[in-house]
Each structure stands twice: as structure tokens, then as C-alpha cells.
Structure 1
Amino acid sequence: MAEVILFDAAGKILEVLGSLVAKEIGLASGVKDEIRQLIDTVRTVKDILHDAEEQHSKKNEEVAVWLQRLKDALYDADDLLDDYYTEFQQLREAMNRNTLAKEVRIFFSKSNQIAFSISMAHKIKAIKKKLEAVFNARPIYLVEQLPDKNRVENVERETHSFVHADKVFWRDEDKNNVIRLLLDSDGRENVLVISIFGLGGLGKTTLAQLVYNDQNIINHFKLRMWVCVCEDFNLKIIMEKIIKSATRKEIEKLEIDQLQECLRKEINGKKYLLVLDDIWNENPGMWDKLKNLLVNGARGSKILVTTRSEKIAKITSKFSSYVYPLRDLDENKSWSLFLQIAFEHGIEPKDSKLVTFAREIVAKCGGVPLVRITIGHLLYGNNNRDHWLHFRDNKMTSIIKNESDILPVLKLSYDHLPLHLKQCFVYCALFPKGYKIEKQKLVYLWMAQGFLQASNENRCLEDVGHKYFMNLLSRSFFQDPEYDKLDNVVACKMHDLIHDLAQSIAGFECIVATLDTTNRFDKRCRHVSLHSTVDSSWKFQTVVHGVTHVRTLLLFESNAFLELDGDFEFSSSSMSLRALDFGELEFKKLPRSIDKLKPLRYLNISYNGYIVALPNSMSRLWNLETLDLSNYLELKELPRDIRKLVNLRHLTNEECDFLVGMPYGLGLLTNLRTLWNLETLLQMRYPEMERLAYALLITSRKLRPYFPAHTIHVMTNYPLRQVLQKPEALVFACNLVRINVLSCSHRLVPIL
């Protein structure tokens, strides 16, 4: 994961530095010069990361050590620049509001600008010096390379068409279903495409082999061809492979035009079956170029595609009825497969205790045949109880992570991800196995870490996060999607093996801990999740004990009451936190130093039945984007200066039924996209303009994740004509396409 994080960190640093140069508040010319020099240094570092990634993937220890030093330096630079950028933005915001507060006037005094510029110049120079020192200490064989977003680590993989059908009994039902599709006489097109998609290791290639060698298929198709496509979707190479499979002969070196003539000649008028195994190409144009060369077969010809990506399956198969998702094996088939591999003659042993151990091991394997086969081979021939018990309790996880047949197969899917999706996927290692991951929460966490990359400034980051999520789902990194009433995906899970993959890639970057391991963190970790029930003796400080610059802290399954004493302080190691989730932990009051977490973007302190009022000091969390107060059962007051949280996008106050009011000026939060509790707000004695603005914000929340262009439904009986005519009211409706006003007895005039 190191090279992915480094590339992203370098990109974010360049973005911030560019903004600092463009926005000249308080920047002396000397500071701009230092920033421009730092930009050049970071760009040079970024260019060499591609070669470093390749060397690191080859287990080059020297490069790994160097990457770690570079990562630490880039993280330090990111933290410092984030701090400065925050200060700049706060001051610009104050100027935009024509604020004449004493501290603003002091800052913009000539003497203070000079002092600030000198301090900043020294800091930036120190960053540049540190980066240059690390860069100059790199292994001499690392060279600069131009970025190639489509580059994938070269892993040799070749498949063939043969299989012992009598030994693959666990996919009989799937085999019959696919054969039925292949023999279907649908006449909509001469050549139809059936696609099989699913997680690596499920047996897609094996299923295709079973179908390819079935006697009914042999009798039905005059010509059968098998081609393993793999990573490189090169039209010329694929044509050569198809011709070679059709003729069973080596072909001469031909130009691409000669190849297409030869290919079309071989399949012309013949009812053929072509298996294209292991496709990774997501470019519809590339697929169409190949498909157009294959359409002159006889009516009833079929192409069978296997892929790990649902997106590719839908690109290749025009009709949804010909897209076949391959699922995990059920419990009975999983057990039958394991018996076949692990025990002599596939017969269940008479030792009931051994059978119990075996079933527990099978349950840990999930429904992926490759895992069962690998584990079964490792255990075959040893029926000693103690050996099986030791394997179940101690060796199972390490075998799955280190055995050459398992994770490398799954990692192919990871290798094909673009950089921005790689870090989003690996971050999911923080969630417990089997945990239902809410899409909205995950997107907000990604956003807090700066993982979401909008193609233009008008693109909503939440929409970008939704796209990332659905992309990972379509590539089988997520499974078991949960839908709402509008058929939108709202949650999912990760397969245990995919979770193992994420953890193996994350390494010490993402630490999954329990209470008894909090004192054994790797000091270099950046993201921490705690999966334990806590009690009154638990100390928050122990979670990040010895860890410097942690950026994420998530608590799961806490479900406890915790009384933090008045002297509690966040340690210096917490000052880089971007995301903090107390996981339904109940406590009487918030840590008084919470306002010192200046970089904090995500804060979840939901499910609390004790706190009545939030401290006004929270208004100093200027970078905060998400504040989750769901089920704050006794909460009556929000911070009175909440209007200062100008970056706040999501204020989730669902089930906060005792709120007596909202602080005045909430309408100044023009980035706000989520706000609950419409009834409470409409009862407040504010001008109609703000009432309408609040109503728009609240009701748009439910539609925002699904529609980039809003249609808002407002239920209110207030006189709205004069309100809607005020331009200030439209600040909140800049993305609206239509407003439907329900239950309103006053005549409206069209003004939008």
C-alpha cells in the first residue's frame, strides 16, 4: 500500500501548494519562492514512485525501507501544510464576511504578516530539505517514469480448456444453467455473449471448462475455441489466439488486416462457441472492435466470457438475462468438496471430534472453492486431532495470507484497480470481518481522508464517493448489497478472504486492535480501529498509546457508558486525526480538548443519552465536514457558534427530539447537505426565508445520494411568495431543477 499512499499524498500536497500560491493572503514573495521550489521537489519525488512501486512489488527490502522514510516525510509535509491552509482559509472566510474582529485586524497588520511569512518560509524550507534528503538517499537504480494509470504488475497466468468433469461435482447446477443459456435459440443476434462474473477463486474458469467439454455442447457447436485473454486486451494478440485455437496450427506473422481476414474466414457461416477466459478490459470501445470481427458466424453462435467484474460482464453481454453471477458454495457443497480433498477416498472419518474440527475449518474458509482445495491438500493424510485443532486455532489465518495459491489470485483484482480505488479499498480493512458497511458512512470517511477526487470543482464529492463504492461492488470487492425502497444500495459486506487481502496490503498502515493489544501498536500506523466492548476502567489514551500521527480512530461494538474525567486531554499523537468515531460509546461529557483536533473532518458521537448541550468550543473544528449526533436523546442545544463550521456538509441530528432550537446563523453554512428534524426547525421563530432554506436542506438530504440534480419536496403552510422572491433564499437552491411545494394554501409565482 505504501506506493499508493505516497502517490496520493504527493498529489494532495501539490494541490495545496498550488492553492497557497494562487491565494496570496499573507504570502510574502520569499514564501512563494519556497513554495514553488517545494512543488518542484514533490513533483520529482512523484515521478519516481512508479519505478519504486515496481521494485517494492518484487519484495525489494532496500526500496521498502526507503519508501517508508519517504512516506513519513510526505505525511509530515501534509500535516503541516494542512495546518497552514486551514489558517489561510479561516482568514479568507473572515474577510469574505467583512469581519472586523480584533484578531483579523491584528493578523493583517503589516508587522504580523511579516512574522507569519518568515515562520512559514522556515517551515516550508525544512519540509523541502527533509524531502530532498530522503530523495537523494534513494537506491541508485530507481529511475523516473511517466505515470501509467493502466499499468498492472505482470503476473503469469494461462488457462486451458481441459478439466476432469467427474471430479468437479460442486458446480453441476451452475453448469446446467450456463449450458441452457448456450443452447438457447434466441434469435435477436447472430452471435450472443454469455458472461460469468464473480470473486477470484470461485471457479469461473473451472465452470467454463465443464461447459466447454460437455457432450451436448460438443454436439451443438461445429467449432469450439478457447482463448485466455488475461490482462493485456490486445486486439492483434487475441485474434492470433482465436485463429490458432480454431485451426490448431501455428500462424505466420501477419499484419492486423490479414489477421482479421483470416479470422472471419475461419468462423464464417459456422455455429461456433468461443470462450474468452479472464477478461479485465473495461473499455467498451475495445470490446466492440473485437465483437465486430466475430459477428459473421452462423445464427446461434455463442461467446462465453469469464471475468471478475460485473461492469465487464454487462459491457460484454448486451442482455441482462445472459449475465451469470457465480456465487459462493452453500454449506453442503462446501463440506462435500472439503471431504473429497482432505480425507482418503472422500469419506467422512468416524472420529466425531475430528469431523467437528473439520467443519469449523470449512466454516472459516467461506464459500470459495480455491480456499477449501488449498486447505484440504495441506491437511490431507494427517488425522491427528491435535494437529487439526492447532491448525484451526493458530495456522489458519497465516496459511490463507501466505499460501501461494490464494491471496495472489485475489490480488490480481487489486492490481487492476486504479490508484484512487486502491486506497479506498485498503481502508476498508479497518472494518471487522462480517461487518455491514454503510455506504454513506464509508463515503464520509473516504472524504475525511481526502481519498475522493472530483474531476471538476462542480462535481459533488458525495457523488464521487458513491461512484467509487459502486465500482468496488461491481468488481466483487464488496458483496451482499442491501437496498432501500428506491432500490439504491445502502450497505454491503466484504468477503472474509477479501478482508484478508485488504489487511495484507495495508500492513501496519491500518491496525485492527482489541483492548489487550492497544499497547502493541506499530508506531508508524496511521489508521486504527478497536473492536471490543469497553468498560469503565478503559482509558481513551491507551488506544493511541505510543502511536504518532494517527489519522483515523474507529470504535466498534463499544456499547458502554464511559465517564471521562475533567482532566482528560487528547495527546499530541491525536493531533493528526481526520476521522474519529466513538462507536456508540456513551459518556457524560466530551473531552474538553476536542477543539484542538484542527484537522478533524469526521466526528461521530452518536447514541448518547446523557449530554444535554454541546460545548461551544466545537465551533473551532473548522475543517469538520461530518458531525453525527444521531440518537442524542437528551440533547437540547447545539454549539451557539456553529455557523463558524463553514465546511460542514452533514449534520445528522436524527432522533434528537429534545432540541429546543437551532443556533441563529445556521443558514450561513452554504456547504450543508444533510440536516434532519424538519418538524423542530419549522416551529422555530426565524424569518420565513431561513425556514424555507432549512426545509430545503433537510428534505434534499434524502434525495442527495441518488440524484445529482435535485427535486425537492417541501411541506409547509407558510406564505412563501415573498420568501421565494428574495435572492438570499436561493443560495441553498443553486442545484435545484424543480421545487414541489406541498400543503401550501398561498399562491406561488414562478420565479425559478
Structure 2
Amino acid sequence: MWGMGGLGKTTLAQLVYNEERVKQHFDLKIWVTGSLAQRLQQKLTGKKFLLVLDDVWDDCGDSWSKLKEMLRCGAKGSACSNYAMATTFVHQMGRLSEEDSCHLFQRLAFGMRRKEEWAHLEKIGESIVKKCGGVPLAIKALGNLMRLKDTEDQWMAVKESEMWDLREEASKILPALRLSYTNLSPHLKQCFAFCSIFPKDQVMRREELVALWMANGFICCRREMDLHITGIEIFNELVGRSFLQEVEDDGFGNITCKMHDLMHDLAQSIAVQECYNNEGHEESEVPRTVRHVEFGYSRLASPKEKLLNVHSLRTCLSVDYDWIQKRRGKSLNMYSSSPKHRALSLTEHVGKLPKSICDLKHLRYLDVSSPFWKTLPEGITSLQNLQTLYLRDCYELIQLPEGITSLQNLQTLDLRYCSSLIQLPQGMNHMKSLVYLDITGCDALRFSLMIHGECNDCYNKST
């Protein structure tokens, strides 16, 4: 399938991919997002497979020839589908008709309201729909926006907005999406733009997003205890207005989402001076004003080296031990009195937990999930502003620091699959801010709690 962004190519492909008859027909199904992953051949050899290439834009004929040659290893009846700008087209996706566009818009903008309640807005709505050019993503964004507007003046303001006349980025960012963004409240704008820290097509965990928004002060509440609840409301609103999509719930409370490529382009254009991820930008200059970075899985050192002397950083995700030590040596003041560093996560291959982390007095979010360490430095209890602590998959962790109960601002403690942990420190029930404690997969600990009459995988005071 071929066509511009926002037409629903991914959505249509997902429907086919998840169709029961398709599942029964193929031995193996593979969904590849972005650049084609290496060494697929060993998985495909001798099997009848369905391979979907999601958003692969490589138009080099030689590359496609090599790919086709590699795919010959599959059994007869295998199929490959690509739906982006490629050299061979299977089906060109068209835009929605005017009638279908109006139907989709009205369903979103007016919902279950009686027609007499919105008849006076119908003509204005039709004009707005025409400006969307039959692109479903644009229509959804505007339909969800107009649902929040009741007066004729408000509708006319959208119809006659100068945003429709912007041509600078017309080929990349749809005016309808930018117009929808400008109508967000300030805290929603911050939370949305922050998502550009993650690469395109990244699956984002709701709880992680909310925790990072909290850590950076994007969520405002009178009571600290309400921050997480308000964060969930912000997440739901961004989903409801199509800024976040493909929401999935695994049935155990783990909710994930993704961002459409065009929405990601919009977020990047807004936060280009503050948010940075190294996907595709390894050799580009890093803005000196950058506050939030995510290193992903790149092994290239150049962006990491460039960021060593950036003093404005507040969020550092997927960093390694060597980088932290180098940064500490070049920027000692950051690890003492600087109020800027709010969120930090380490990559899984970190050999040991740097004690220098304990100097980050203003840290609010810390993810040190790794199977490598048996204990945590006692100094971690000096992080009195810490709100979120992730210790997932710390299989060798045998105990928590006794002083962890002094972290009176800690709201989330995730201990999933810390299978060697056998007990919790005394006094954890007195941690006034702790609302979420997850011990899924901590069998030894669960057995110990069972003896004492407490046996929940997840403890949530807010429920």
C-alpha cells in the first residue's frame, strides 16, 4: 500500500494482519517498523510467512532487490507487504470522499447529540472538513477538537484560522494537526511535545509517560497525591484527541500507546530546541538548549560526546555508566547544587550502579532496572524528591536499603521480577505518598507476605 501519511495505511494493514484467517494461513507473521531489521533469514527459512514492512521508505532499487532475494528462503505461499513510498506499489490508498469525510467528522464532533442541537454548525463544519483534504488523521484531530466547542464564534475561529494558510511545512505537517495542537491547554502542549524524545514508532508505556511528566513539572496539582491521577487524565485527553494512538491494554493494567508519524513530526517541530533523540541525528548538532534526551540503542558515540557539556539537561534516558562518569568529571556542579536534573534511566548493560547518582538531589524519576546488581547503594535514600523508582527485572537484587522508607515523596515502586527479593524493609506501610507497589514475579517475597497475610501482586492505595 502506498500513499501520503495519515490515510490509514497502518490501520488497514493491522486489520489484515490480525485477521483470523491470516493467522491460520501463515506459520509466522512478522511486522517490521522503520528500517528493515537484520538477519531475518534464519527465522524465515522453510516457513510460510507474512511480512509487513511498516513505514519503510527506502526507494533504492538495489536494496529492494537484495531484500527480495533474501525472502526467497520462505516456503511457497509466503507474502510480503510494504506500505510507504517504495519503488513497487501494490495498492494506492486514496483520500476519503467528501461524504465519508463529513460522516467521520460529524460522528466525532457531535457524538450522540440530536441534530437540532448542531444544525446551525453544519455548514461551518463542512467547510472545515474540506480543508482537511480527505485525510482521516486530520479529520479525526479536528473532529475531536470541535467536540469541545459549542458556539458559532468558536467554530468560525477554527474555520478562518491563519493556520490553514501556512505553507512552510505543508508537505510534512498538516495544518489541521497544528491547529488542533494550538487549541490544547499549556500543560497538555508540554506533555505532548515531550513525547518527541522517543523515536518514531516507539511503544510508550502510559505509566512511564505520566511519571516523566510528573518529574519535569508538567503536571500541576494542589496536592502531590493527585499528580498521578491528573497525569492519567492528561494521557486520556491526548488519546481522545488523536495525539496518541494505538492504545493497548494487556489486561494486567499495563497500557501502552504509539504516536502517528505525522504527530511525531509535529511534536519534534515544536520541541526541537528542548527534546533530542539520536535516531537519524547521530551526526547533527545538538542544540545547547536541549533539556530532554533519549539515547536509544545507538552505539555511535558522537551525540553522547556532544551532550557531555550540556548543562540544561533535565531528562536523560537509556544512558550508560561510562557516559555518567564522563559527565560527572566534566560537569561536577550538575551532581551537587544544580536543580535541573529530574529524570534518569540506565541501559540494561550497565555493569554497576554509579554511586554518583546519589548526588542528584533533585531527581524525581529513576529507572535502574537491570539484572546485574545485588544491592543498591544506601545513599539512594538521600534522593528525597524521588517520586518514581523502577527496579524491574533485578533478578539478583536480594534486599532494598532499609532507609528507603524515608523517601516520603515516593509514589511508585516497581519491583516486578525481582525474584531474589525475600522481604521488604520495615515501615513501608508508613510511606505516606506510596500509592503503587508492584511485586509481580517476586515469588519469594510473595510467599513471605502470604505468611503475614498480605499477598497482592500490585498494591495501589488509590483504588
TM-score (norm 2): 0.61
**Secondary structure of 1:491's aligned partner:** strand
Q: Does 1:493 align with 2:327?
A: no
Q: Does 1:623 align with 2:385?
A: yes
Alignment of 1:163-312 (within 5 A): 170-172=95-97, 175=100, 178=103, 191=115, 227-228=123-124, 275=126, 277=128, 308-310=142-144, 312=146
Q: Distance in 1 between matches of 2:344 and 2:429?
A: 26
Q: Is the 8 A contact 1:638 1:662 kept in 2?
A: yes
Q: Does 1:577 align with 2:312?
A: no
Q: 1:309 to 1:441 in 2, by over 3 A?
A: farther
Deviation for aligned residue 1:679? 4.9
**Secondary structure of 1:700's aligned partner:** strand
Q: Is the 8 A contact 2:102 2:129 kept in 1?
A: no
Q: Distance in 1 between matches of 2:115 and 2:94?
A: 30
Q: Is the 8 A contact 2:141 2:242 kept in 1?
A: no
Greater helix percent: which structure?
1
Q: Distance in 1 between matches of 2:393 and 2:459?
A: 21
Q: 1:475 to 1:524 in 2, by over 3 A?
A: same
Alignment of 1:126-525 (within 5 A): 170-172=95-97, 175=100, 178=103, 191=115, 227-228=123-124, 275=126, 277=128, 308-310=142-144, 312-313=146-147, 402-403=169-170, 406-454=173-221, 456-457=222-223, 460-485=226-251, 490-513=255-278, 517=282, 520-525=285-290
Deviation for aligned residue 1:227? 2.7
Q: 1:616 to 1:401 in 2, by over 3 A?
A: farther
Match for residue 672 of structure 1?
A: 434
Q: Is the 8 A contact 2:278 2:303 kept in 1?
A: no
**Secondary structure of 1:627's aligned partner:** strand
Deviation for aligned residue 1:672? 1.0
Deviation for aligned residue 1:448? 0.6
Write the letter of the residue equivalent to 1:446.
Answer: W
Q: 1:531 to 1:518 in 2, by over 3 A?
A: farther
Deviation for aligned residue 1:436? 1.2
Alignment of 1:45-84 (within 5 A): none
Q: Distance in 2 between matches of 1:610 and 1:589?
A: 7
Alignment of 1:650-661 (within 5 A): 650-661=412-423
Write the letter of the residue equivalent to 1:477.
Answer: F
Deviation for aligned residue 1:440? 0.9
Q: Does 1:612 align with 2:374?
A: yes
CA RMSD in angstroms, aligned pairs only:
4.3
Write the letter of the residue equivalent to 2:459.
Answer: S
Q: Identity of paired residues, percent?
A: 30
Q: Does 1:700 align with 2:462?
A: no
Q: Distance in 2 between matches of 1:539 and 1:591?
A: 22
Deviation for aligned residue 1:573? 4.1
Match for residue 158 of structure 2?
A: none
Q: Is the 8 A contact 1:478 1:492 kept in 2?
A: yes
Unpaired segments of 5 or more residues in structure 1?
A: 1-167, 183-187, 195-222, 230-274, 280-304, 317-398, 711-752
Q: 1:515 to 1:307 in 2, by over 3 A?
A: closer
Write the letter of the residue equivalent to 2:295.
Answer: L
Q: 1:425 to 1:401 in 2, by over 3 A?
A: farther
Q: Distance in 1 between matches of 2:325 and 2:193?
A: 37
Deviation for aligned residue 1:600? 0.5
Deviation for aligned residue 1:521? 2.2
Deviations 1:548-598 (A, max 9, x none): 13101112xx8xx9678999847334642101122x422221112111101
Q: 2:291 aligns with which of 526, 539, 551?
A: 526
Q: 2:411 aligns with which of 630, 634, 649?
A: 649
**Secondary structure of 2:362's aligned partner:** coil
Q: Distance in 1 between matches of 2:299 and 2:401?
A: 28
Q: 1:579 to 1:515 in 2, by over 3 A?
A: farther
Q: 1:519 to 1:614 in 2, by over 3 A?
A: farther
Deviations 1:316-356 (A, max 9, x none): 8xxxxxxxxxxxxxxxxxxxxxxxxxxxxxxxxxxxxxxxx
Q: Is the 8 A contact 2:197 2:276 kept in 1?
A: yes
Unpaired segments of 5 or more residues in structure 2?
A: 1-92, 131-138, 151-165
Q: Is the 8 A contact 1:429 1:503 kept in 2?
A: yes
Q: 1:402 to 1:595 in 2, by over 3 A?
A: same
Q: 1:189 to 1:308 in 2, by over 3 A?
A: closer
Q: Distance in 1 between matches of 2:234 and 2:391?
A: 26
Q: 1:309 to 1:601 in 2, by over 3 A?
A: farther
TM-score (norm 1): 0.39
Match for residue 545 of structure 1?
A: 308
Deviation for aligned residue 1:193? 7.6
Deviation for aligned residue 1:662? 2.0
Q: 1:612 to 1:669 in 2, by over 3 A?
A: same
Q: Is the 8 A contact 2:311 2:334 kept in 1?
A: yes
Q: Distance in 1 between matches of 2:421 and 2:123?
A: 65
Q: Distance in 2 between matches of 1:189 and 1:469?
A: 25
Q: Is the 8 A contact 2:412 2:436 kept in 1?
A: yes
Aligned length in residues: 337
Deviation for aligned residue 1:420? 1.3
Q: Which has the larger radius of gyration?
A: 1
Q: Distance in 1 between matches of 2:397 and 2:302?
A: 25
Q: Distance in 2 between matches of 1:587 and 1:604?
A: 12
Q: 1:601 aligns with which of 343, 347, 364?
A: 364
Deviations 1:196-215 (A, max 9, x none): xxxxxxxxxxxxxxxxxxxx
Q: Is the 8 A contact 1:564 1:589 kept in 2?
A: no
**Secondary structure of 1:452's aligned partner:** coil
Q: Is the 8 A contact 1:564 1:588 kept in 2?
A: no
**Secondary structure of 1:470's aligned partner:** helix
**Secondary structure of 1:310's aligned partner:** helix
Match for residue 160 of structure 1?
A: none
Q: 2:399 aligns with which of 637, 641, 650?
A: 637
**Secondary structure of 1:446's aligned partner:** helix
Q: 1:539 to 1:684 in 2, by over 3 A?
A: farther
Q: Distance in 2 between matches of 1:483 and 1:686?
A: 28
Q: Is the 8 A contact 1:410 1:501 kept in 2?
A: yes
Q: 1:623 to 1:476 in 2, by over 3 A?
A: same
Match for residue 354 of structure 2?
A: 591
Q: Is the 8 A contact 1:630 1:652 kept in 2?
A: yes
